[in-house]
C-alpha cells in the first residue's frame, strides 16, 4: 500500500486590524477638547496641595460639634424639600404617562410620537435650575416654583423612560390582542401595561430620588427648603449650623434611597430585599 502524503496545514493568515479614520479623528478631537478645557480654565494647581488640610478644617468647624439647636429647623427645611420633590414627581407622572403612550411606536402614528420625543429631549437638555428661573417670573420665589420646575424636568425624563419601556415589552401579548381585533386602548391595557408596569413604577420611584436631591439645588435660588437654609448659613459662616443641616440631609436622603430601593426591588423581582448599602 502506498502511503498518502498529506500537505502540512498552513495557519490561516490573520486579517489586518481595521483602521478607522473617523474613530482616530474622534479620539484626537476629544483629547484636544480636554487639553483646551484645562488650558482655558485658570486652575491654581498649588492650591490642590492645601485642599485636604482645608477640607479637614471646615469639616471640623461643621461637625465638632454641630449646632444641635438647629435640628428642628433643619428637619423642617428638609421635609419641605421632600414635599417639593414629591409634588414635582406626582405632577410629572400625571403629565408624562399619557404622553409616553403617544410617543411609543406602534401605539401612535409617527406624526404624533416624533414631535413628542423631540419635546422630551429638549426638556431633558434644560437643567431644573434654569426651568425654575423661567417659572419664577410667573409664580415668584416660592416652594411651588421649585415643585413646578421638578415637574417639568420629570416630564422629560419619565416620558423617555416610559416610551422605551412600552416599546420593549414582549411582542406576544400585543400580537394576541391584535389578533382578536382589539382597539388601541385594549392593546395598551392588556398587551403593554401589564408587562411594563413594574419598570414604570420603578422609574417613578427613581425619579423621586433624583428630585429629592435636585430640590436642595433649587433652594439655592430662593425656592425654599434645605437649599435656602444652607445658603443663609454659609453666607454668614455659621458652620456648626451647616454641619447640623448636612447631618439631617444625609440621614433623610439615605433613608429615602433605602426605602425606595426596597420598594423597587419588590416591584421588579417580587420580593422584599434591603439594598446592600443599608446592611
pLDDT at position 24 is: 82
pLDDT at position 41 is: 73
| CB atoms inside a 10 Å sphere around CB 126 | 14
What ranges do the domains of the chain cover?
A: 65-278
Size of the chain, expressed as the number of residues it contains? 279
Q: What is the DSSP letter of 7?
A: P
pLDDT at position 278 is: 46
**Helix pair 128-139, 193-218: axis angle to 10 deg:** 70
Residues of the chain under the 70 pLDDT cut: 1-19, 270-279
pTM of the model: 0.77
pLDDT at position 141 is: 76
Round to whole Å and give the CA distance between 233 and 226: 11
pLDDT at position 279 is: 47
Round to whole Å and give the CA distance between 279 and 275: 7
The domain defined by 65-278 folds into MetI-like fold (1.10.3720)
Locate cell 439655592: which residue? Answer: 220
Q: Which residues contact 47 (CB under 8 A, 6 or more apart)?
A: none
Round to whole Å and give the CA distance between 134 and 136: 6
Amino acid at each position: 500500500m502506498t502511503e498518502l502524503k498529506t500537505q502540512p496545514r498552513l495557519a490561516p493568515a490573520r486579517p489586518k486590524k481595521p483602521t478607522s479614520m473617523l474613530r482616530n479623528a474622534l479620539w484626537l478631537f476629544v483629547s484636544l477638547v480636554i487639553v483646551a478645557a484645562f488650558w482655558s480654565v485658570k486652575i491654581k494647581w498649588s492650591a490642590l496641595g492645601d485642599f485636604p488640610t482645608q477640607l479637614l478644617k471646615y469639616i471640623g468647624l461643621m461637625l465638632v460639634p454641630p449646632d444641635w439647636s438647629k435640628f428642628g429647623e433643619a428637619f423642617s427645611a428638609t421635609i419641605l424639600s421632600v414635599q417639593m420633590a414629591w409634588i414635582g414627581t406626582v405632577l410629572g407622572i400625571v403629565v408624562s404617562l399619557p404622553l409616553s403612550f403617544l410617543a411609543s411606536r406602534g401605539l401612535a402614528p409617527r406624526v404624533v410620537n416624533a414631535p413628542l420625543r423631540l419635546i422630551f429631549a429638549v426638556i431633558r437638555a434644560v437643567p431644573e435650575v434654569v426651568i425654575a428661573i423661567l417659572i419664577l417670573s410667573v409664580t415668584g420665589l416660592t416652594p411651588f416654583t421649585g415643585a413646578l420646575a421638578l415637574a417639568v424636568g420629570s416630564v422629560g425624563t419619565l416620558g423617555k423612560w416610559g416610551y422605551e419601556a412600552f416599546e420593549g415589552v414582549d411582542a406576544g401579548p400585543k400580537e394576541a390582542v391584535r389578533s382578536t381585533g382589539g382597539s388601541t386602548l385594549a392593546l395598551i391595557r392588556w398587551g403593554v401595561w401589564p408587562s411594563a408596569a413594574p419598570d414604570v413604577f420603578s422609574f417613578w420611584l427613581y425619579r423621586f430620588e433624583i428630585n429629592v436631591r435636585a430640590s436642595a439645588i433649587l433652594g439655592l435660588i430662593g425656592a425654599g427648603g434645605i437649599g435656602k437654609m444652607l445658603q443663609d448659613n454659609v453666607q454668614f459662616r455659621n458652620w456648626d449650623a451647616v454641619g447640623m443641616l448636612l447631618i439631617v440631609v444625609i440621614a433623610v436622603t439615605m433613608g429615602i434611597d433605602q426605602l425606595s430601593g426596597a420598594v423597587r426591588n419588590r416591584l421588579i423581582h417580587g420580593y422584599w430585599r434591603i439594598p446592600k448599602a443599608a446592611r
